[in-house]
Amino acid sequence: MTDPILAVSNLSVDLKREDRKRRIVDNVSFSLARGEVLGLVGEAGSGKSVLARALVRAIAPPLDIAGGKVVFEGRDILTLNPRGLASVRGNRIGFIGANPMGSLDPRLPIGNQIVEKLRCVQPGIGRTEAREKVLDLLGRVRIPSPSARFHEAPFQFSGGMMQRVMIVDALASDPSLVIADNITQPLDVTVAAQIIRLIDNLRQSLDTAFLFISSSLPVVAQIAERTLVMQRGRIVEEGRTADLATNPQQTYTQTLLSRIPPIWRDVTAPVATTGEPVLTVDNVLRTYLVRRRGSFNAYNEVKAVRDVSFTVKAGENFGIVGESGCGKSTLTRLLAWLEQPDGGRIAFLGKDLSHLSARSLTEMRKSFQLLLQDPYGSLPAGMPLRRMIEEPLLIHGIDRTEAARRAQEAMAEVGLDAELAERLPVGLSAGQRQRINIARALVLKPRLLILDETLSALDQVEQAELLDLFTRLQATHGFSYVFISHDLALVRRMCHRIAVMYLGRIVELADNTTLFEHPHHPYTRALLSAMPTLEDNRFPRPRYLLDGEPPSPIDLPLGCSFRSRCPRAERDCEKTDPPLLSLAGDNYAACLHRHMAPHEEEVANVE
């Protein structure tokens, strides 16, 4: 075997604050062969990103490299002179970060910035030559019409497209190593899957090694042959990714694996229940007007929510899933009656909310409560916990002693220590903060909780605890929940019925088992195929994963709005925009051609 291109030995990084020292990266050693993809997995705070930066010596106070060697192509990066370092960073080693939208100067065309970088690290290269090279790469990462997009600034790109641009930026100098630090984390599942597929294709033609860092083992498993598991700054396990996934040696790796929720293997999906309807949504529409660029007085219509109907029954968990821009957030605002629909109606306990007087609406609001995503921004920082939890009661005119009593009960019920009552929220964990939010909703004795990505800011452990809490509360109070989420695994675990949204519309509405095992809409299949899993995906990517990104909600394709990306679109799809058509059971799909999934069809034909 040839020499490794990167050999790290006993690398340590300290965090120095005044006279205290904390070790962030602890005695890490590993090596990376030419053209290899090495995965690095660890939870938030395990020191992965610091390690990534230490490899290119981009460590600034209060962090400090305490010792070790990073030998790259025969030279120790940690002892290189500034000139030597400049010849490596951005040149022989490319770096892609987790924030594609913030990685380039927001004012300047992306093409010029990549050319600038390329000419900085390789002064020998001419302007035209550099330009050609960047254009070629933009084409290879499959950015549509590269010569036009070359001149666009970062804000004109979506997150996924911008991450492709950053891949071009890293690859422009033909590096022999690319460090990819959590690059799929901010992206939607299908876009993340596209990026992984792209990198997988590129490295086969480029002979570039990748250090692929992520907090999720399933994500890393999609691409890395070998994986390092990092915990509290140490590499606790190293091995072939497949072995790690099936036969982990260390307890930490086992714990990591046990926290990955199953999707198909050994799942008992929640079965749909019957009950009286709590929330009824009928043909709801919401359109925003946005001034057309470069015009004096013309507006574009953004159809954020189109023709959405569903009911949520008592004691039911209803899931709404979809990718960014699908209208989830607008729908949340409508459900919580923060905004009123332009058309259609939303009825709660049989009463149309738009017909209620202001007073009875306020009364009604007690019964449906919204829980938000950001546990930090959603709590007033200067208010003691008890007061925070009492506040909704005081707003609804309940006297102080009663409010105090109920707040105390609620705190106990959500598992907040009574000692915390007089404390400010400073220093509380994200999970504890969400418990406060739950308590604030709980005191009003609601019937329905709307959870808008409520758990996505939490780590796996906290998430699991809160899900247990939700289940317990449902058992005691008979709540209904609406889970609005991009996290399919969570929805799989919790929801009885699930709606999949695409471009403002529900494209499929089905019970849990049907949706995950025999989905009818091609978009649902694409979503499932994009999920990073360690199990065998029932919807293999080469067949089901979509290309490109959703069209702009300003000009929707005529006919079926999914037509432009649908692998099975036919003539009539151009003419008819299918409404939700009813299927067996209480399931619906908005597709004119409700085929079985292709691979299931094949099996059926053989039989």
Partner 1 sequence: MFVLSFLLRRLLQGALIILLVTFIIFTLLRVVPGDPARLIVGGMAPDEVVAMKAKELGLDRPIPMQFVSYLGDIVTGDLGTSFVRPKSGASLGGASFDDATREERAKVLDLILGTLPMTLQLAAVALALALLVAVPLGTLGGLYPGRWPDKLALAIGSICVSTPNFWLGIVLTLLLSVKLKLLPAIGYRGFSYTILPAIVLAVEIVPFILRTLTVSVAQVMREDFIQLAPIRGLSRSRTILHHALGNSAIPLINLLGVQLGMLLGGVLVIEFIFDYPGLGLLTINAVLQRDFPLIQGIAIFISVMFVMINVLVDLIAMTIDPRLEY
Q: Which residues bind partner 1 (CB under 8 A)?
A: 53, 56, 58, 86, 89-91, 95, 97, 99, 102-108, 116-117, 120-121, 153, 155, 169, 173, 293-296
> Residue 3 or 105: which CB sits closer to partner 1?
105
Long-range contacts (CB closer than 8 Å, 24 or more residues apart) made by 333-337: 334/284, 334/286, 334/305, 335/279, 335/281, 335/368, 335/370, 335/450, 335/482, 336/368, 336/370, 336/450, 337/361, 337/365, 337/368
The CA–CA distances, whole Å, from 75 to 27, 71, 304 equal 19, 5, 55
> Residue 134 or 589: which CB sits closer to partner 1?
134
The least CB distance from residue 176 to partner 1, in Å, is: 14
> Residue 94 or 322: which CB sits closer to partner 1?
94
The least CB distance from residue 148 to partner 1, in Å, is: 15
The least CB distance from residue 153 to partner 1, in Å, is: 5
> Residue 296 or 382: which CB sits closer to partner 1?
296
> Residue 88 or 370: which CB sits closer to partner 1?
88
> Residue 296 or 350: which CB sits closer to partner 1?
296
> Residue 96 or 500: which CB sits closer to partner 1?
96
- Quick check: 278 and 318 in contact, CB under 8 A? no
Q: What is the DSSP string of 12-63?
A: EEEEEETTEEEEEEEEEEEEE-TT-EEEEE--TTSSHHHHHHHHTT---TTE
The least CB distance from residue 79 to partner 1, in Å, is: 18
Dig out the tokens for 27 from the structure. Answer: 């005695």
| Strand 63-72, strand 6-17: pairing | antiparallel
The least CB distance from residue 34 to partner 1, in Å, is: 21
> Residue 91 or 524: which CB sits closer to partner 1?
91
- Quick check: 445 and 363 in contact, CB under 8 A? no
How many C-alpha atoms does 483 have within 13 Å on its Cβ side?
A: 25
The least CB distance from residue 102 to partner 1, in Å, is: 4
Q: Indicate the Cα dihedral angle 475, 480, 481, 482, nearest 10°.
A: 160
The least CB distance from residue 58 to partner 1, in Å, is: 5
Taking 3-state DSSP, the helix, strand and coil percentages for the chain, each rounded to the nearest 5, stand at 35, 25, 40
DSSP 8-state assignment for residue 539 = S
**Which residues face 368 on adjacent strands?**
448
The least CB distance from residue 185 to partner 1, in Å, is: 14
How many C-alpha atoms does 500 have within 13 Å on its Cβ side?
A: 26
Label residue 338 exposed, middle or buried (CB < 10 Å: 0-12, 13-18, 19+).
Answer: exposed
